[in-house]
């Protein structure tokens, strides 16, 4: 029996793991033909999580999943022309040059709203 995107939530609950699914999408500009985009994101992030690449066969509409071992290597060329290590947020695909900046971003990105909450400090009140 094949796994579908709809069945991933049940699989997560049964196996105590969170799964993000990305797919290959054609770009509209001709100079860049393909890009990786998230199509399913886990509600939160745990220590035990996986990133999968979903590929659909256009001939028979059968989809297949592949494990993404290194998200940075997979998407870095579509994010920047610079050749250096990038720390990628697996929820929104923003990238950072240091792991510390990624960790600071992760706290805001994990929230389900699309904006970061910044409270005023004592001087700004």
pLDDT number for residue 24? 86
Residue 92 belongs to what domain range?
A: 5-112
pLDDT number for residue 69? 93
Give a yes or no: residue 59 inside a domain. Answer: yes
How far, in Å, CA of 80 to CA of 76, rounded? 6
Residue scoring higher pLDDT (9 or 43): 9
CB-based burial label for 54 (10 Å; 0-12, 13-18, 19+)? middle
- Tell me how many domains the chain contains: 1
pLDDT number for residue 54? 92
Q: Are strands 87-88 and 63-67 parallel, antiparallel or unpaired?
A: unpaired
Binned at pLDDT 50, 70 and 90, residue 10 comes out as very high
Give a yes or no: residue 121 inside a domain. Answer: no
CB-based burial label for 75 (10 Å; 0-12, 13-18, 19+)? buried
- 75-114 residue pLDDT tens: 877 776 777 788 888 777 788 889 999 888 877 776 644 4
- 29-68 residue pLDDT tens: 666 677 888 888 887 766 788 999 999 887 887 888 999 9
Give a yes or no: residue 76 inside a domain. Answer: yes
């Amino acid at each position: 029996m094949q796994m579908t995107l709809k069945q991933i939530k049940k699989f997560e609950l049964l196996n105590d793991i969170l799964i993000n699914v990305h797919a290959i999408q054609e770009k509209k500009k001709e100079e860049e033909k393909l890009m990786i985009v998230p199509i399913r994101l886990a509600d939160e992030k745990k220590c035990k999580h996986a990133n999968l690449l979903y590929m659909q066969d256009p001939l028979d509409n059968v989809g297949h999943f592949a494990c993404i071992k290194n998200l940075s290597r997979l998407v870095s060329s579509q994010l920047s022309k610079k050749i250096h290590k990038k720390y990628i947020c697996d929820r929104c695909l923003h990238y950072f040059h240091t792991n510390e900046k990624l960790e600071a971003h992760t706290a805001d990105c994990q929230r389900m709203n699309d904006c970061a909450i910044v409270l005023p400090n004592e001087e700004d009140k």
